Amino acid sequence: MKRAEEQEQGGDGAVRCSCRCSVTVLRLGHRPERDKRVTTHLGLVARALGARGLLLTSEDKAVVRSIREVTKRWGGDFFLQTGVKWREEIARWKEGGGKVCHLTMYGENILDVIDEIRESAARILVVVGAEKVPPEVYQLADWNIAVGNQPHSEIAALALFLDHLYMGSELRARFEHAELEIIPNRAGKKVRRV
């Protein structure tokens, strides 16, 4: 992790990471009947924790509708694209100067590579598999990253990756064009219309 002197202080007193990385998530192998909730939750986590958008290799109108509805009500400009051909997308990403991070329990520990990623990548495509990931993905990725070398949820892996990348600054993000906003409260729920 970067030292405190490499972070910025926001006007609200919040410490913000100096990382200017732009992250898009590529979901491989989404199976509409089996993975609907998991992929929806993956998209919600990606949106809430600072990713710009979600690319799906399959078509699933229910997932798209759910995430777009959340984005409309809670703000931000999170995008979704379905029917993406993953090989072409990874090639296009790399040709455009972006880097590819594949989240896998078989990769290098995130603590050993996160500083390198933060310092060398302005645009990151994070690849998250749903079923067995083709071996080619491991070869195409600039980094194969593990949040732990034990079986775990891809949602947890993405959340930990984004949190480590942005050093917690994403937890204080404000979303433009929101219809609703939560007012943090120690006890109870407070939501206001914006």
User: Which CATH number is 134's domain given?
Assistant: 3.40.1280.10
Nearest by Cα to 40 from 148, 158, 151: 158
Domain count, the chain: 1
Cα–Cα distance for residue pair 159/132, rounded to 1 Å: 20
Residue 2 covered by a domain: no
Three-class SS of residue 161? helix
Residue 129 structural domain: 17-193
In degrees and rounded to multiples of 5, residue 74 shows phi and psi of -105, 0
pLDDT in tens, 143-190: 999 998 898 899 999 999 999 999 999 999 989 999 999 999 999 999
Cα–Cα distance for residue pair 131/174, rounded to 1 Å: 33
Mean pLDDT across the chain: 88
Residue 131 covered by a domain: yes
